[in-house]
Chain A
Amino acid sequence: MIGAGERAAMEQTVRGAIANALATAGARADIDAVLTKLGWLDMLDGEPDSAVDIVFGALGAADATATALDDVVAAALGHKPRADLAVLLPRFATWNPPGRIDAGDVHAQGLATGRAATAAELLVVCGAESEPGSVIVPATAAETEAVRGVDPAAGLRAVRVHGRASGATRLDPIAWQSALALGRRAVARQIAGASRAMLDLARTHAMERVQFGRPIARFQAVRHRLAEALVAVEALEAALTAAQEDPNSDTAALAKAIAGRTAHTVARHCQQVLAGIGFTAEHSFHRFLKRALALEGLFGSADAIVLDVGRRLLAARRVPTLIEL
């Protein structure tokens, strides 16, 4: 594990490089190229936990779009990540493997990052959660279509796969659980970055916006909304730290659930503080709001995870503490 100082320096480098690219090229900036230049794949190989935290936190904070999630999942599944290998993600709001193998054919349906539009191959996880397998199919076996949806800039694609399942390999269930956990942490970290960005925007606005002869930040009703938002963001960041210190399926699932709840709470309070300006296209708030909505559905929504967690607590009649001092 890298030290706090080194980590802070890396974080600054990554955030600076992304900010530069966005300042130069705007929405057309090639963030994947920026990450490649920063040595993203080496970071992911050497220090996956820190790499995921730093890069996805930076993507969220800048509302930047990249396809690095494909690398995270591919690596966790034991494949060497490469720019021409895309990954089929579970369908929106769910986390079951997106494919199944039936009489030697693979059938799959799910989401993908923008990489699926150009990659030569697609990695598809198939089967039940308890007994998964994986198969790499050529891009020609996949129909992919851009999803506009709430956040066209997220670059998500809807994907269907029908093809021969040649070369399918059995997958250790642990590998799928690890990929799911790391994917959840990546997305949760990105949501945390976006949540803090929304709060920063609302705070700045509250300090500058003058009504009734004073900045609206002086009004307790406004202050308490921003305080609520900060409480939520800090709790999410603590859950992400815990998921890094005690990495397992449960801590990752909880971090992802808390991320969804947090984004909702933060967006609600910050949008109210931003009021009219937050409803315009010119103010950047809406981009973070929309990105958070899109990310919320990757690897299971908060509601779906909370339901799953609750079912397991009731089935076991036990409440595990999960983390200790």
Chain B
Amino acid sequence: MGDSHVTGDLADYRAELRAWLDANRERLAPRFPPPGTLDDHVAQMQRVKSILFDAGWMQLGWPERVGGRGGSPMLRTELGAALAARELVDSGLFSLVEVLAPTLIDFASPELAADVVPRLLSGAELWCQGFSEPESGSDLASLRCRAVPEGGDPRSAAKWVISGQKVWTSLAQFADRCVLLTRTGPADSRHRGITAFFVDMNSPGITVAPLEMLNGEHEFAEVFFDDVVVSADRMLGALNGGWAVAMSILPYERSSCFWQRIAFLYRRLERLVEIAPNDDRAAEIVGDAYVQLYALRARSRATQHRLADTGTIGAETSIDKVLVATAEQVTYDAVRRLVPGLIELDDSAAGEVWRGEYLYSRAATIYGGTAEVQRNIIARRLLELGSDE
């Protein structure tokens, strides 16, 4: 693979990438029969990352100072989308890199970022994100998990001590590290008193209790912090600057992650048209899902080019979020409507896969900011309707 892709044409890169993936299909393919457990999917993702890292693909689109090879972030978006379209990795798991690595690159010390980001990219490590708490879901700024400076002075402390609880922490039981939001200001300091830390998950005092989801998997967990000690040089961003860390994730979540999800949904719709009846009712339902997916794809493409051109995207991506959640649910509703019994009764491997995905799709309007929170943001920030109080 040549270095021309760092500066070259995206279409050329896409073609070479796809050819390479097709040529290495056997090596990259999952080693387990579908549907596979979460452990199977995590192991597959790490194995694929390792192969891609060795071949040099995984480093494209990431800065050189963290072991990357430079180039537009769209290079890595193309990679994730191509993997999703070939069903080589779980797109939701794979795209977690997009919400974790940029945080370290933008907010960790250069030494720390250079040390740990390559481990994430190569599949040597897996990280999680400790944001939500039992009492802090949509209202993230109310979080309470506390970090206290050892010795009492936050400016000179060499260590911090963390106590509290997180919940809905995806992959916590597999994770080597956690990007953790903590309360460092007064209890009522809201977004002004939050600080982010990069915590080793094998630190004494951390307990992980996986939660069973409605599809039977244990993708997320409760995480308990009981006087967990973390070095001050693991602080991400400024003291009480954690809100900026949390918000900085949005541009990547709302561009690259979504494009990968869209690629996955196109592939699933293709699987549906392979098994759907060929009649006009099916044509209407499939056509409708396709039209919604296409509108989302058009919107998401414009968003990524705006990010690439201007370096920033903001509240307008709440529109992308509403579209992706709606399109995902419409796609799986189409499956349920066109193949009766597939989701409800079918105990074959294919039935297990569709059922798991159908149930998971119900969360699309909940995770990453609920559909209602997105509409609140659209109303206030984009339509400028003023305060709702």
- Do residues A206 and B77 form an inter-chain contact, with CB atoms below 8 A? no
* Residues of B close to A324: CB separation below 8 A: 10-11, 14, 301
* Residues of A close to B269: CB separation below 8 A: 319
* Residues of B close to A231: CB separation below 8 A: 319, 322-323, 378
Kindly specify which of A122-130, A145-153, A216-224 makes contact with the partner chain: A216-224
Cα–Cα distance between A48 and B106 once the two chains are bound (Å):
44
Cα–Cα distance between A322 and B319 once the two chains are bound (Å):
21
Known: A258-B295, A315-B278, A322-B297. 17 other contacts (CB 8 A): A203-B383, A226-B385, A230-B378, A234-B319, A235-B296, A239-B295, A239-B298, A257-B291, A258-B291, A307-B283, A308-B283, A310-B290, A314-B283, A321-B297, A323-B297, A325-B10, A325-B77
Which of B287, B372, B378, B382 sits near A310, CB closer than 8 Å? Answer: B287
Cα–Cα distance between A315 and B279 once the two chains are bound (Å):
10
Looking at the assembled complex, report how far the CB atom of A302 sits from the nearest CB atom of chain B, in whole angstroms: 8
Given A226-B379, A242-B298, A307-B283, CB of A254 within 8 Å of CB of B291: yes
Cα–Cα distance between A66 and B161 once the two chains are bound (Å):
71
User: Which chain A residue shows the least CB distance to B371?
Assistant: A224
Q: Is B16 an interface position by the 8 A CB rule?
A: no
Which of A207, A238, A317 sits near B274, CB closer than 8 Å? Answer: A317
Q: Is B259 an interface position by the 8 A CB rule?
A: yes
* Residues of B close to A203: CB separation below 8 A: 383, 385
Cα–Cα distance between A239 and B322 once the two chains are bound (Å):
16
Give the contacts of A261-281 with B (CB-CB under 8 A). 261
* Residues of B close to A218: CB separation below 8 A: 385-389
Give the contacts of A194-233 with B (CB-CB under 8 A). 203, 206-207, 215, 217-220, 223-224, 226-228, 230-231
Chain B interface size band reads 35 or more
* Residues of A close to B378: CB separation below 8 A: 227, 230-231
Interface size on A, residues (CB 8 A): 45
Q: Which of A238, A307, A315, A321 has the largest number of chain B CB atoms within 10 A?
A: A238
Looking at the assembled complex, report how far the CB atom of B307 sits from the nearest CB atom of chain A, in whole angstroms: 11
* Residues of B close to A224: CB separation below 8 A: 372, 375-376, 379
Q: Give chain B's interface residues, CB within 8 Å of chain A.
A: 10-11, 14, 74, 77-78, 259, 263, 266-267, 269-270, 273-274, 276, 278, 280, 282-288, 290-291, 294-299, 301-302, 304-305, 316, 319, 322-323, 372, 374-376, 378-380, 382-383, 385-389
* Residues of A close to B295: CB separation below 8 A: 235-236, 238-239, 254, 258
Given A306-B284, A311-B280, A325-B259, CB of A319 within 8 Å of CB of B388: no
User: Which chain A residue shows the least CB distance to B382?
Assistant: A230
- Do residues B77 and A254 form an inter-chain contact, with CB atoms below 8 A? no
Looking at the assembled complex, report how far the CB atom of A179 sits from the nearest CB atom of chain B, in whole angstroms: 22
Cα–Cα distance between A318 and B267 once the two chains are bound (Å):
9
Which of A207, A236, A307 sits near B287, CB closer than 8 Å? Answer: A307
Looking at the assembled complex, report how far the CB atom of B49 sits from the nearest CB atom of chain A, in whole angstroms: 21
Q: Is A33 an interface position by the 8 A CB rule?
A: no
Q: Is A178 an interface position by the 8 A CB rule?
A: no
Looking at the assembled complex, report how far the CB atom of B71 sits from the nearest CB atom of chain A, in whole angstroms: 13
Cα–Cα distance between A306 and B11 once the two chains are bound (Å):
29
Which of A220, A309, A323 sits near B388, CB closer than 8 Å? Answer: A220
Q: Which of A241, A310, A315 has the largest number of chain B CB atoms within 10 A?
A: A310
Q: Give chain A's interface residues, CB within 8 Å of chain B.
A: 203, 206-207, 215, 217-220, 223-224, 226-228, 230-231, 234-236, 238-239, 241-242, 254, 257-258, 261, 303, 306-311, 313-319, 321-325
* Residues of A close to B11: CB separation below 8 A: 324
* Residues of A close to B382: CB separation below 8 A: 227, 230
- Do residues B302 and A238 form an inter-chain contact, with CB atoms below 8 A? yes
* Residues of A close to B296: CB separation below 8 A: 235
Cα–Cα distance between A321 and B299 once the two chains are bound (Å):
14
* Residues of A close to B286: CB separation below 8 A: 310, 313-314
- Do residues B389 and A306 form an inter-chain contact, with CB atoms below 8 A? no
* Residues of A close to B316: CB separation below 8 A: 234
Given A239-B294, A306-B288, A313-B286, CB of A319 within 8 Å of CB of B299: no
A-B contact pairs, 23 of them (CB 8 A): A215-B386, A219-B388, A223-B375, A223-B388, A224-B379, A231-B319, A238-B301, A238-B302, A239-B294, A242-B297, A307-B284, A309-B290, A310-B283, A310-B285, A311-B280, A313-B283, A314-B282, A314-B283, A317-B274, A319-B269, A322-B294, A324-B301, A325-B305
- Do residues A318 and B284 form an inter-chain contact, with CB atoms below 8 A? no
Looking at the assembled complex, report how far the CB atom of B261 sits from the nearest CB atom of chain A, in whole angstroms: 13
Cα–Cα distance between A241 and B266 once the two chains are bound (Å):
20
User: Which chain B residue shows the least CB distance to A241?
Assistant: B302
